[in-house]
A and B are shown apart, each in its own frame.
Chain A
Amino acid sequence: DIVLTQTPLSLPVTPGEPASISCRSSESLVDADDGNTYLDWYLQKPGQSPQLLIYTVSSRASGVPDRFSGSGSGTDFTLKISRVEAEDVGLYYCMQRIEFPWTFGQGTKVEIK
């Protein structure tokens, strides 16, 4: 199975400041057939299901504020929040969908300092 390793696991942030989460994969997530890289980012707010933020590395899902951005290639990926807001607190997960089983990072808990 593909292993996704997120760092850090805990991220205290100051509102208005930037934040960054890393996700490293044990294998390349590039699909040889279509060229897409199947790495997504999700935010799970307390008491809610995971909601899609970023798909295929860098595409923002509908309704996601532009302060969220994704980057990376191959096996190394990053989620950045340009200016953290209070509503951004929760658990952030990276997820790969290039092969079964879908696998997830351990989650990064973002909280306000």
Chain B
Amino acid sequence: QVQLVESGGGAVQPGTSLRVSCGASGFIFSSFSMHWVRQVPGKGLEWVAAISHDGGEKNYADSLKGRFTISRDNSKRTLFLHMKRLRVEDTAIYYCARDHGDQGSDWGQGTLVTVSS
């Protein structure tokens, strides 16, 4: 059974950095592209970034380029999102998702990041 468990969220001050993680199990992690999607509480969904199965290709939402970095450690079956110069508007639940190609995508339960002074 596919499991994606996000961690590392919390309350931080504007201008600081934070790294959130996503531990994967139940599938061959190194075979799948992975994504981060975020959701401001009570609002819609926003795609953040994607990384290819081997980490060789990365894509970002235009509005986040330069501040957010996606990475992965296939030996530890873990996906990361490093966020720097955080802003109040980055407050959101951050979900990791497995891209299952023509069979949809699977999502974790999310980790809440709150940016506030």
A40 CA / B45 CA spacing, docked (Å)? 14
How many residues of A sit at the interface, in one of the four size bands? Answer: 20 to 34
Whether A93 touches B45, Cβ cut-off 8 Å, given contacts A100-B50, A100-B59, A102-B37, is: yes
Q: Is the CB of B106 within 8 A of A36?
A: no
Complex contact A49–B109 (CB within 8 A): yes
Residue in contact with B106 in the complex, picked from A48, A52, A59, CB distance below 8 Å: A52
CA distance A56 to B100 in the complex (A): 11
Q: Is B14 an interface residue (CB 8 A)?
A: no
Chain A: CB-nearest residue to B93: A49
Residue of B nearest to A55 (CB): B104
Distance of B93 from chain A, by nearest CB (Å)? 8
Q: Quick check: B104 and A102 within 8 Å, CB to CB?
A: no
Which B residues, 20 to 65, have Cβ-Cβ distances below 8 Å to chain A? 35, 37, 44-47, 50, 59, 61-62
Is A51 a contact of B61 with CB atoms below 8 Å? no
Select one of B104, B108, B109 contacting A52, CB under 8 A: B104
Interface majority SS (helix, strand, loop, mixed), chain A: loop
Q: Which of A20-28, A81-89, A103-111 lies at the interface?
A: A103-111
Q: Does B103 contact A (CB under 8 A)?
A: yes
Chain B residues in 8 Å Cβ range of A38: 102
- CA distance in complex: A64, B108 (Å): 18
Residue of B45, B61, B110 most packed against chain A (CB within 10 A): B45
Cα separation A55 to B59 with both chains bound (whole Å): 22
- A-B CB contact pairs (8 Å), 19 listed: A36-B102, A40-B105, A49-B93, A49-B95, A50-B95, A55-B102, A55-B104, A55-B105, A56-B103, A56-B104, A59-B104, A61-B104, A93-B44, A93-B45, A97-B105, A102-B47, A103-B47, A104-B46, A104-B47
